[in-house]
Structure 1
Amino acid sequence: MNCRGEFFSEAVMGDVKGKFHLVDVDASGRERLFFDNAGGSFRLKDAVAAFAAMDTIPDNPERIHASALHLQDVIATGESDVRTILNASGGSIFTALTASEAMFDMVRAVMENSVGDNAVTTILEHPSSFDSVKMYCERTGRELRIARSNPETGGVDVDEIVGLVDSKTVLLSVMYASNISGAKFDLSTIVNRARAKNPHLYIVVDAVQHAPHGVIDLKETPVDGINFAPYKFFGCRGSGIAWLSPRVAALTHHRLLAKPQESWQLGTPTPGQFAVVSKIVDYVAWLGSQYSGKQDRRELFLEGMHRIELHERALLVALLDGHGTHRGLRAMPGVDVFWDHDDFERRDLIVGVGFARLEAAQAVREYEKRGVVVYERVATSVYSGRMLKSFGIEGAVRLSPLHCHAPGDIERFLGITEELAAL
């Protein structure tokens, strides 16, 4: 893979932008750059339309008439497309109101129904992962082992994680990529080495940050549970989606007792959320078809994600090293780039920066005055504090563009950042 990425052609770039809502303007029609996609991504027009269409239908899917059967088909297709995204076979799929809720459910089932005296997680986990493991360690009287971060890379080293796993570890909970630094975890190596030490270990993965940026393949990384959030993956708010291995699905969990043991779906699922997943896969497969003549849905999806990853890597390089007549963040006086290194294949499209004369929140306000939306990660935040303190910093401005952005968007952003650095 091209280590510095490859931009979409102008034609493909134009088509991509046209498939999403509000890429270049806000809801009021004002021009802006939205660089906070890690908090909720641009919405696919087709996904929003599909959800709205499904939501007009009053019929209960658990009936036998024609409209209900149609809704059942929508759900079944959506479940199949969840498996397309993850390359998963077998196991169970369930939805919750949020990916955080799904994570708590998975962790609870493992921790309440397994033998062992410790659980392992990392200091960089989202609160839903970290707090659920901590809570159930306390409830079940187990030791909580926390892998430390690497302030240079913004991630957690493989040895740091695997070194905490032993024969009595019940659960390893680890993220696919950091939503603060963008650092990708070497998940395949982590899974293989952890299972070599403890073949009975349960492994649960938070893929919410990474899912819209790169390939997930459960055949290569056989974990026991994984979640993602459609609203951060070009879809709509209102659901978190999880896949469970057969052995996790069979654990005691909240369920309707008349349903099969492996069923985790409580109540009637929302067909619209499954329609959204199918539209996400439709879109990524369409993108793949611009570069490949293959017909298999998973192969087209893989090609599409590959092209997203290449374009986003080129955007990352442009942010850091400059583009056109604009110098990059690395070269700007008064700007610090955190967790910076040149192994771009180990980075999703997130950059953390600091300003010599502006605190993070001040910088965010100055960006907004100039039509740019970014996010302040500060040590006082429940979603940021633990992670930032592990890096030894008080705050950072998080930049999270998406593949919908063009090189010209990066140039505009760099010009505005020069203005802020001079304040």
Structure 2
Amino acid sequence: MPPFSPDLMSDVRARFAHVDGCPFQGPRIFFENAGGALTLNSVVETSAKFAAIPDNQGRDNPAAHALVDLIAQSKADMVDFFNPRGGQFFVGESGTELTFRLIRTAVMGAPEGGAVIGSTVEHPASRSAATHWAQIAGKDYISVPHDDATGSVSAEAYAALMTPHVRVATILHTSPVTGIANDVASIAAAIRAVAPEAYIFVDGIQHASHGHIDIAAYDIDGYVISPYKAFSRHGYGVAWVSDRMTALPLEQLANGPRAHWEMGTRDTGAYATFSDVVAYLNWLGAQHSDSDNRRTRLEAAGAAIHDHEQALTQAMLHGTGNLPGLAELPGITILGGIDNPAREGLVCFALNHLPAAEIVSALNAQGIRTHVRKADHYSGNILNPLGLEAAVRVSMCHYNSVEEVSTFLGAMKDIAGAG
């Protein structure tokens, strides 16, 4: 599929803050979206507006009533965005905090004994939470190996290690290191086929900015995202939990509402800024669909984002104009393989003759923002099996352009040659 038209590209970029310039560096191309996406201008305005409001929810005054109504509207917007069947949404400190909390609730609330299962491709947030609480609860931890060549884990890999005694399972939707998505629905089905009562948690943090989320199709119990990676801002995470997860013993105030997950007074501005994200995606979907149904427009936005980012990654890998793609550079390793249809707007690579940190530094000197992933507690699970000490992560979103990819490839041609 072709990338966005020039007119649509201009309209999209106009809706984001600092799209082509850093307030500290000056002009720059932003290819560090996996570390945190650009922020919508509407989110910036909403954040300032609600930061100035002194009132809390739950009081009997006009401001408090308005705040409650805004939160209710945001949760309705979340329903359209995530498309769950039942359950509830709530916000917390961050995606990582919510990941720990949901996994802790599932592991400690599940029947005694049994096992927790997860994969080696997962971000340390879910893997650390699962192994930590499995040990405390006296449950075995089953580690499903991912495929080093594809940078993903399959339903078959889960099925090979499944047991009816699995109480909790964790799944990574998309890897923040390789950019490769996993088939959540098929993995969940493989888990349920053997342990139908297992509580299934999904880390959707890296996937959220790249399009389609359809919780109703996954048959899961928990899904978490970090909105600062999906065009909102830092300071909160969003979680969806199933009704059966809510029926477990929850950490909450004594004698408070039974099914209440939130602790303390939440930031209404966090909810309101997520509504800004949904409104933006609704607008983008309307550029690709004539439907009056908002969920249909959100699905159209997801499809358009996916197609545009596929065009960007194909150009980055295989070249554009007279510029060679990364795949043509000598001594290169592309994590997840060169032509992987599950790739979502991210190319992670290493050159055998030039350290990743030097590449990132050289690109930054030319105003191209990328990131080095080291074989540490964040990325060692992916890099160590490949024999890599570090790699360069180039992460894109739908507001990036083919012209920006061309500039990057021109810089990489010189950097690789110099190296």
TM-score over 0.5 for the pair: yes
Does 2:390 align with 1:395?
Answer: yes
1:54 aligns with 2:50: yes
Secondary structure of residue in 2 paired with 1:352:
strand
Measured after TM superposition, the shift of residue 17 of structure 1 is 0.5
Counterparts of residues 64-79 of structure 1 (less than 5 Å): 64-79=60-75
Which of 276, 279, 283 lines up with 1:279 in the alignment?
276
TM-score normalised over the length of structure 2: 0.97
Unaligned runs of 5+ in 1: none
Which piece of structure 1 moves more, 176-185 or 353-362? Answer: 353-362
Aligned partner of 1:317 in structure 2 is: 314
Contact 1:203 1:223 in 2 (8 A): yes
- Does residue 199 (structure 1) correspond to residue 196 (structure 2)? The answer is yes
Q: Is contact 2:151–2:180 with CA below 8 Å preserved after alignment?
A: yes
Paired residue for 1:364, among 360, 367, 370? Answer: 360
SS at match of 2:330: coil
Residue type matched to 2:415 in 1? L
8 Å CA contact 1:148–1:390 kept in 2: the answer is no
Where does residue 171 of structure 1 map in the other structure? 168
Which SS does the other structure have where 1:94 is aligned? strand
- TM-score, length-normalised on structure 1? 0.96
In 1, the alpha carbon distance for the partners of 2:148 and 2:388 equals: 10
1:12 is matched with: 8
Runs of 4+ in 1 over 6 A off after TM superposition: none
Provide Cα deviations, 1:330-370, integer angstroms capped at 9, x if missing partner. 112243322224242x1111111112322111211111111
Which residue in 1 is equivalent to 2:253? 256
Instruction: Please tell me the residue identity of whatever aligns with 1:137.
Output: A
CA contact under 8 A between 2:151 and 2:382: conserved in structure 1? no
Identity, % of aligned positions: 32
Q: Of 411, 414, 417, which aligns to 1:419?
A: 414
The aligned residue for residue 42 of structure 1 is 38
Q: Which residue of 2 aligns with 1:218?
A: 215
Q: Which stretch of structure 1 is more off in the superposition, 273-282 or 254-263? A: 254-263
Measure the CA separation in 2 of the matches of 1:31 and 1:355: 27
Unaligned runs of 5+ in 2: none
SS of the counterpart of 2:12? helix
Q: Secondary structure of the equivalent of 2:53?
A: coil
Cα deviation for residue 406 of structure 1 reads: 0.9
Question: Offset of 1:85 from its aligned partner?
Answer: 1.5
- The equivalences for 1:122-201 within 5 A come to 122-201=119-198
Pairwise CA distance, 1:219 = 1.3
Q: State how far apart, in whole Å, the 2-side matches of 1:35 and 1:192 are.
A: 35
Corresponding position: 1:246 with 2:254: no
Alignment of 1:24-39 (within 5 A): 24-28=20-24, 30-39=26-35
Q: CA RMSD in A?
A: 1.3
Contact map agreement 1:21 1:45 (CA 8 A) in 2: yes
* 1:186-242 residue CA offsets vs partner (Å, 9 max, x unmatched): 111111121111111110000000011021111111210010011000000000110
Query: What is the letter of the counterpart of residue 205 of structure 1?
Result: V
Distance 1:258 1:271 in 2: 24
